[in-house]
Amino acid sequence: MSGCEARDAKKLVRSPSGLRMVPEHRSARSPFGLDEPPWVPDKECPRCMQCDTKFDFITRKHHCRRCGKCFCDKCCSKKVPLPRMCFVDPVRQCAECALISQKETEFYDKQLKVLMNGATFFVTLGTSDKSELMVCRLSNNQRYLVLDGDSHYEIEIVQISTVQILTEGFTPGEKDIHTYTSLLESQHITEGGNTRAIGMILQYKVPGSEELTQMKFTASEDFSCNKKLSATWLAAMHKATKLLYESRDQ
Ligand SMILES: [Zn+2]
Ligand SMILES: [Zn+2]
């Protein structure tokens, strides 16, 4: 078992927001994780930040665990899983945050498993004209992309600087290429439809080097049974990239 597959020790911590299961070392945390927000202090919020109801002995205030703002019970009643902050149980969130967290549930329930199961791609390193058939998957601790073929690579997710998802009918360099910028828009990469993902270009830093290394992944045409799996994997990677950038921007 290589270093990147080691099961990182975890510990249970209690915060005002609830119980959390976090890695013993901060360096071992998931690249998709989010920090707990600071709570808006009680004295700074006499009224619900959504419906403006005044707080008193009957109308109590509650903090949303995701944004840290103050709400009345009606505006902050939903308890939704929040795995990105490592909460063990579903936690209280405002309507806006609950919606975002519910959408992320699909990533944690389905797409994360797709990424960990892996898919097959032709992989080209840098400007080389040779490509190698490799199985690419996310490590169990979510921190590495692991590539296995005749060669073996482990790319640390935090070292990845750009992810471009390539879609059918376009070649790299054309304007319709999906880059991180497009991830902020509503464009959707699905496994079916007319925007099937067929490849990906990663740029990442190799520790000890300042230059970026580029790696291109192409879904294999020869293995038609795997092509759908590769497209599903790329769609999951697309979603993962969005989460990754959110985690970095926090
Ligand atoms: Zn309210
Ligand atoms: Zn909120």
pLDDT digits (tens, 9 = 90+) for 59-91: 899 999 999 999 999 999 999 999 999 999 999
The number of the ligand nearest the C-alpha atom of 98 reads 2
Q: Which two tokens stand for residue 158?
A: 């935090």
Inter-residue contact 37 to 18 (CB < 8 Å): no
Q: Which two tokens stand for residue 211?
A: 């230059």
Q: Please give the pLDDT value at position 4.
A: 63
Give me ligand 2 centre to Cα 186, in Å.
Answer: 22
Q: How confident is the model at residue 93 (pLDDT cuts 50, 70, 90)?
A: very high
Strands 62-63 and 78-80: what pairing?
unpaired
Give me ligand 2 centre to Cα 87, in Å.
Answer: 15
**pLDDT, tens digit, 9 for 90 and up, residues 100-158:** 999 999 899 999 999 999 999 999 998 888 999 999 999 999 999 999 999 999 999 98
The number of the ligand nearest the C-alpha atom of 54 reads 1
Query: Is pLDDT of 19 > 50?
Result: yes
